[in-house]
Amino acid sequence: MRVMIVEDQTMIRSLLESYFRAEDGYRITASIPGAKQAVEVCRTSSVDLILMDVQTENRENGLTAVRQIKAIQPKIKIIVVTSLIDCAVLDEAKRAGADSLWYKDHGTEELMSVVKRTLAGEKVFPDTAPAIEMEGTMSDVFSPRQLDILRLYIKGFTYQEIADKLGISKNGVRWNLDDMVEKSGFESREALVATAIENKLMVITLKDE
């Protein structure tokens, strides 16, 4: 089974390589840092399975590469591997055509299980993104609607723009942001935003390509 690994962090890339070398039946045909390069490899080389990081070298968007690769070689199995726990990443991976998704902190045994199930034709996606600790509470105390509001707020949308996008009132936007601050134990919205970004609950650095 011919495997390509796309991961910009050298240490993690080497670790992923070692997982496959320890198993019979896998051959690493490419191990590279960039999503754009992965697309080019698929134009000229035979690959059966790709492990694709979400954010690769030079902030290249791995999910954009997933979509492009599936258009070129739809039979290639692609597992998105990520440490980004923004639930929007999970949703976008599905829309891009990824076959499965694995969170990097979930361990070798789970990864190889996901690999085998994916190659067998399964779609392996977690039901939800993992929760993270934020001050004295866990991020799963926030509702999906609150996470949508926070994501738009972080992206710089005004209260009115958020309200219009989500079909709620401007006061509803304010109330939900204040409720998130209270639930998480922060002193301000700014502290909530900083922690959400730092802990990868929200992703704002991916290039839209």
- For 104-131, the pLDDT digits (tens) are 877 778 899 999 999 999 999 987 666 6
Q: Is 94 in the same domain as 155?
A: no
Q: Is 146 in the same domain as 194?
A: yes
The reply to whether 180 falls in a domain is: yes
Asked whether 112 and 104 are in contact (CB, 8 A), the reply is: no
Which CATH number characterizes residue 24's domain? 3.40.50.2300
d(CA 34, CA 70): 17
The reply to whether 46 falls in a domain is: yes
pLDDT of residue 131: 66
Query: What dihedral angle (degrees, nearest 10) is formed by the CA atoms of 100, 106, 111, 112?
Result: -150
Q: Backbone phi, then psi, for 203, in 5-degree steps?
A: -110, 125
Confidence of residue 195 (pLDDT cuts 50, 70, 90): confident
Q: Is 101 in the same domain as 19?
A: yes
Tokens read off for 170: 């401007």
Provide the whole-model pTM: 0.73
Provide the number of structural domains found in the chain. Answer: 2
The reply to whether 204 falls in a domain is: no
Q: Is 115 in the same domain as 85?
A: yes
pLDDT in tens, 87-110: 778 888 999 999 999 988 777 788
Asked whether 190 and 153 are in contact (CB, 8 A), the reply is: no
Asked whether 65 and 6 are in contact (CB, 8 A), the reply is: yes
pLDDT in tens, 19-44: 999 999 999 999 999 999 999 999 99
Last residue of a domain, one of 95, 119, 143: 119
Q: Is 138 in the same domain as 177?
A: yes
| Strand ranges for 1-124 from DSSP E | 2-6, 27-32, 49-53, 77-82, 100-103
Using DSSP bridges, classify how beta strands 2-6 and 49-53 pair: parallel, antiparallel or unpaired. Answer: parallel
Q: Is 87 in the same domain as 141?
A: no
In degrees, rounded to 5, the angle at the alpha carbon of residue 194 between the alpha carbons of residues 188 and 198 is 150
The reply to whether 166 falls in a domain is: yes
pLDDT in tens, 40-82: 999 999 999 999 999 898 889 999 999 999 999 999 999 999 8
Q: What share of the chain is helix, strand, coil (3-state, %, to 5)?
A: 50, 15, 35
The reply to whether 12 falls in a domain is: yes
Q: Is 110 in the same domain as 138?
A: no
Pairwise pLDDT comparison (189 vs 205), residue with the higher score? 189
CA 178 to chain centre: 27
Residue 184 sits in which domain range?
133-198
Check whether 12 has a pLDDT greater than 80. yes
Asked whether 54 and 206 are in contact (CB, 8 A), the reply is: yes
Asked whether 66 and 80 are in contact (CB, 8 A), the reply is: yes
The reply to whether 33 falls in a domain is: yes
